[in-house]
Amino acid sequence: MCGITGYVGADPALPIISDGLSNLEYRGYDSAGVALVDEGLSVYKRSGAVAALREILPESAAQQRGIGHTRWSTHGPPTDENAHPHTDEAGRVAVVHNGIIENYESLRAEVSECTFTSETDTEVIPHLIARELAAGSAPRDAVQTVADCLAGSFAIVVAIAGVEQLFAIRKDSPLVIGHGESGMFLASDVTAFLEHTRTVTYLEDNELAELDSDGVSIYRGEDAVAVEREQLEWEADAAEKGGYDHYMLKEIHEQPRALRKTLSGRFDLDSGAVTLDVDLPSEYLNSIEEIQIVACGTSNYAGRYAAELFESLADVRTTVEIASEYTFSGGRDPWRTLVVAVTQSGETADTLSALRRANRAGARTLAVTNTLGSTVTREVEDSVFIRAGPEIGVAATKTFASQVATLALLAVFVGRERGALSSTDAIGVLESLRGLPGAIQQVLDLEDEVRLVAEEYAESDAFFFIGRRLGWPVALEGALKLKEISYDHAEGFAAGELKHGPLALVTDRTPVLAVLTDGSRPKETLNNIKEVQARSAPVIGASSFDGGSSYLDVEWDVPAIGVMEPIVTNVYWQLFAYHVADLKDRSIDQPRNLAKSVTVE
């Protein structure tokens, strides 16, 4: 996955493009580059993060058009040469690209007379466009003709020296247009230009946008299509650090606010009713035999939490699949199977591919996502938005909490529609959800204590997270967070499984972090804590459970709010991971080798 951006308007393009790249850096940080355009092209590009690029950018530049790119490498290592933008031989056409051109080798053969300077799949595009221009094509026609030859997924932005317009086209990769007062913006994600405008147009697959300083025209082949504008609700400072050292820490602290937005207006505590803007008729919900959740990483763990809730609240068999392993098989009846894709970005290739398999089989599909206009929302019958606001840190934090909260609402909704959940029990779950923001705030207020514990244990050999039932996905998520940002060895286990193997790893240098809350069978987990204590492991427990204290080296209180307590526990895990990583001076917002959303399978 990469981030691409563009601007054409009345203001100098350079600061707009470079600030946009900083906001898109979560999408890739192997290299970055900018092309500024007037009668010629000025291209600056460098391996490494946007900060490295800034060292070679001029202090100021007059050009009012430009494009930019931040890269997560797929074809070719992260070198200066492989950084985008890529240009033709004459240096007239510059292209930034997000996605993969599957047929780039055969296309390269078509322009074999050109000298290629990179190993990327992208560089063939400016050479091909230059060939079309040399043959007399108008700029838009040249871009369209070349796009028609590309196989694979792409969002590309093209700038041409001496041409006042920027051109953009997409297929299976995101691209959004911003309508600003000073000009027009383009980006993979609105966070690139949120400080300039919140009026946007999402480009659809195979649409070509032609932007100049006055506006945008959109074409599908030869035909002009209407430009639909949307107004985003995200606040202009949503993609800024707001005084925190890292986006991740800001996003951890944003959880109470994000959750209030997730929940706002979606339930009635008196009746236990849930209102979600989805078309899932009662008749259909009563006919389903199974819910299949498909997701990756943190979203998969949110799905595992939800699976417990669907089974217990809605009385429906629920399976959770790692999206890259998913097949629609096992004798399932597609008419009686609801497939729910959980994806923060809405762009994860593995999840989209799983969804397409479900669609092909004829199953009904639903997306739970944070991202309006994302690819997933175009491929499902219904979408439910988690409303967490932009998440820039590569490690998912607030979106996990908001995903679980949204899925819990969905479980109550399905449970009520199926007649499986009494209003009293529904109200119990909704009370717990209502208590979640306040309970998380109580944990956030204890951050200094968590940091002290992180200092004590940061140099451990490994970290093991354990939990049962609803505590298990939270153990998995705690370990994922720690390994992602600290690079320490961390594993999550179903607590009962420890004695079946992992116990062999436990020593006095492997802290065990345990979930001891409502919904996580704390009494049974205590037995596992005793087992690790007998092997001298230090135990850190996040607990709402009376009776565990004497077995814990560190005890963190979890406010008693019922079924959502493990999500509160997770906030301790997030703060612990953050501070361990911070003590080690890791690149917290952009951990090595990772990207925020992974758009390759």
* Sole residue written with tokens 């409502």: 518
Residues 383 to 442: which contact ligand AGP by CB under 6 A?
394-396
Q: Which residues contact 575 (CB under 8 A, 6 or more apart)?
A: 252, 443, 444, 447, 450, 451, 454
- Site stretch for ligand AGP (CB under 6 A), options 76-84, 341-349, 453-461, 559-567: 341-349
CA–chain centroid gap for 105, Å, is 31
Contact between 598 and ligand AGP by CB under 6 A: the answer reads yes
**What string marks each residue from 547 to 576 as x (binds ligand AGP by CB under 6 A) or -?**
------------------------------
Smallest gap from Cβ 310 to ligand AGP, in A, equals 19
| Local structure of 153: helix, strand or coil | strand
Smallest gap from Cβ 569 to ligand AGP, in A, equals 17
CA separation, residue 190 to residues 199, 219, 307 (Å) = 10, 21, 32
Contact between 482 and ligand AGP by CB under 6 A: the answer reads no
Q: Which residue, 168, 74, 171, is CA-closest to 121? A: 74
Supply 458's token pair. Answer: 């940061």
Q: Which residue, 301, 286, 319, 303, is CA-closest to 414? A: 286
Pairwise CA distance, residues 578 & 9, whole Å: 40
| Local structure of 601: helix, strand or coil | coil
Examine the residue annotation and report whether 261 is marked as an active-site residue of this protein. Answer: no
Smallest gap from Cβ 377 to ligand AGP, in A, equals 13
User: Which residue among 296, 409, 414, 466 contacts ligand AGP (CB under 6 A)?
Assistant: 296
Residue number, 433 or 598, with CB nearest to ligand AGP? 598
Supply 349's token pair. Answer: 């290739």
Rounded to 5°, angle at Cα 115 from 186 and 89: 50
Contact between 173 and ligand AGP by CB under 6 A: the answer reads no
Hey, which residues does 168 pair with through a beta bridge? Answer: 157, 209
Backbone angles phi, psi at 96, to 5 degrees: -115, 145
Contact between 64 and ligand AGP by CB under 6 A: the answer reads no
Smallest gap from Cβ 172 to ligand AGP, in A, equals 15
Contact between 5 and ligand AGP by CB under 6 A: the answer reads no
Smallest gap from Cβ 342 to ligand AGP, in A, equals 7
Residue number, 288 or 354, with CB nearest to ligand AGP? 354
Residue number, 266 or 596, with CB nearest to ligand AGP? 596
Smallest gap from Cβ 478 to ligand AGP, in A, equals 11
Smallest gap from Cβ 34 to ligand AGP, in A, equals 26
Residue number, 274 or 296, with CB nearest to ligand AGP? 296
| Local structure of 190: helix, strand or coil | helix
Residue number, 175 or 349, with CB nearest to ligand AGP? 349
User: Which residue among 297, 373, 511, 548 contacts ligand AGP (CB under 6 A)?
Assistant: 297
Number of residues that bind ligand AGP (CB under 6 A): 15
Supply 34's token pair. Answer: 């900018």
Pairwise CA distance, residues 479 & 473, whole Å: 10
Q: Which residues contact 330 (CB under 8 A, 6 or more apart)?
A: none
Residue number, 384 or 396, with CB nearest to ligand AGP? 396
Q: Which residues contact 182 (CB under 8 A, 6 or more apart)?
A: 9, 10, 11, 196
User: Which residue among 23, 153, 165, 298 contacts ligand AGP (CB under 6 A)?
Assistant: 298
Smallest gap from Cβ 95 to ligand AGP, in A, equals 26
Helices (H), 487-597: 522-533, 565-583
User: Which residue among 31, 262, 351, 520 contacts ligand AGP (CB under 6 A)?
Assistant: 351
Residue number, 8 or 482, with CB nearest to ligand AGP? 482
Smallest gap from Cβ 344 to ligand AGP, in A, equals 3
Residue number, 159 or 396, with CB nearest to ligand AGP? 396
User: Which residue among 64, 73, 120, 343 contacts ligand AGP (CB under 6 A)?
Assistant: 343
User: Which residue among 197, 574, 597, 599 contacts ligand AGP (CB under 6 A)?
Assistant: 597
Residue number, 298 or 432, with CB nearest to ligand AGP? 298
Q: Which residues contact 157 (CB under 8 A, 6 or more apart)?
A: 4, 5, 6, 67, 95, 96, 166, 167, 168, 175, 186
Smallest gap from Cβ 230 to ligand AGP, in A, equals 21
What 8-state DSSP symbol labels residue 563?
Answer: T
Please name the helix (run of DSSP H) or strand (run of DSSP E) that holds residue 595, with its range, or none.
Answer: none
Q: Pick the catalytic residue: 45, 481, 483, 596?
A: 596
Examine the residue annotation and report whether 596 is marked as an active-site residue of this protein. Answer: yes
Q: Which residues contact 589 (CB under 8 A, 6 or more apart)?
A: 25, 26, 246, 247, 248, 392, 393, 394
| Local structure of 330: helix, strand or coil | coil
Residue number, 79 or 359, with CB nearest to ligand AGP? 359
User: Which residue among 47, 87, 292, 345 contacts ligand AGP (CB under 6 A)?
Assistant: 345
User: Which residue among 31, 153, 348, 510 contacts ligand AGP (CB under 6 A)?
Assistant: 348
Q: Pick the catalytic residue: 2, 250, 398, 481?
A: 2
Supply 421's token pair. Answer: 């959940």
Residue number, 82 or 397, with CB nearest to ligand AGP? 397
**What string marks each residue from 435 to 474 as x (binds ligand AGP by CB under 6 A) or -?**
----------------------------------------
User: Which residue among 30, 484, 491, 565 contacts ligand AGP (CB under 6 A)?
Assistant: 484
Pairwise CA distance, residues 104 & 106, whole Å: 6
Pairwise CA distance, residues 579 & 567, whole Å: 19
Pairwise CA distance, residues 456 & 287, whole Å: 54
Smallest gap from Cβ 346 to ligand AGP, in A, equals 7
Hey, which residues does 94 pair with through a beta bridge? Answer: 87, 159
Cβ atoms of 535 and 511 within 8 Å: the answer is no
Catalytic (active-site) positions? 2, 596
Q: Which residues bind ligand AGP (CB under 6 A)?
A: 296-299, 343-345, 348, 351, 394-396, 484, 597-598
